[in-house]
Structure 1
């Protein structure tokens, strides 16, 4: 074989061919030798049933023969002295070990690997929508919704975070906030959509304003994608009345109405009205100091 000449009666030359590369090796008769064959796979760990390995040799008489095959999860070899680590095959290593080398082992060895062609994996980034600003009335709850559309594959994770000072804390773990994420819907174009909501009570909003983050994790992202909304507390207006009706049609009993206008929990304006039997009386009011 070209490039594989014996150096002495005790040494033999072995050539290893893989793809377009050939290596020459010399080994002492009676010793062990490993012929390396590493290959690339589209997945880190292969299934045995999806892999075919073939080692063949061309001897010094130009005769070609197959010395080892691995197919359908089973190994076949023409010599007990030939070894391929089957666990190594799952890690893309098909190296062949020759044990107790003899003169009959001389020749050019070729490693051939067949793996199934896998279709390319398609990743489509989600489109994440969330309002930049929102308000909640003091003493009430507000639900914010994060819409996530047009992503593929289906697997996706949504996390809500609340800014607490300089730190971000996980939402939905206290009685002041609840999180609900719907199951993904399969769209007509093959993509998926979902939505996630967070419900907060105004008491969860410190200092009148907080930052809330909708964090999305998907295979198409190298790192989690974040969208934020600023939630502000606004006061609610309410009217409180005290009414004392006339006791009877006899005078001089009066009717008296006292009203207070509230903004949130803070009184904003007060007013009182009284009437006597002669339909005379007065109205008074004042703006309260907030």
Structure 2
């Protein structure tokens, strides 16, 4: 496993070196790009408060497969089933926001800005619009030409334990600190029952529900997601303030009220448990860690071109 992890790390770092990012990448070629994208994201969010969560999750899912190359934006074509149609991605939404931003950017500087950069900037804007911190996004990503639904099995699953999470992140050059900080993105959004069903029904031979779940919280989830759930879109918000970027996610883990096994798993070893406690008690500490880890994750690069249309290769 260590050998495979080392190979993957070399693979990603080779990509990164061949595709150096910079804060002032568009200063001369498209100086207004960030303003234009922010405006599109702001308008979309004013009409639909779930847009920021969608954009942040989309960026994460993009970066974890082949690097941050916009491959999650490509549509399936012919015999190729694209990433967006892979099981973990069918619930991704807000693709239209990236399309709108691309259209607006193409109007002012055609053929210059990659879809991967637009998604990275939109994810940052999503955090800012929901009350989170801001940061300077390194730019210069290229768009990838390959997108396979089969590769989405590489995404960390909500059922993962701590060693599975650690392996998934370390294969991408991300540390345990990055794991805990980036998990804080779960402060935004909504989850369907399928992502936490394993914790509330037939958990194991001795418990129907996961004993690490608070009993009243487990009962509430069972009422929302009965064992023979018929409601297609049934589920729960990631936390009670699911449209606000805050540190409640960490407080809820400590109260045994987090949705996913992968959230609760952060308490199973001292290193990650200490970080959960730190971020639960200090929003400032969380914001700082989140910024650092977002920059690190979004700098895993990959692609080869600047797409004219984010949904199809040139």
TM-score by length of 2: 0.15
User: Which has more radius of gyration?
Assistant: 1
TM-score by length of 1: 0.16
Identify, as 1 or 2, the structure richer in strand: 1
Determine which structure has the larger helix proportion and give its number.
2
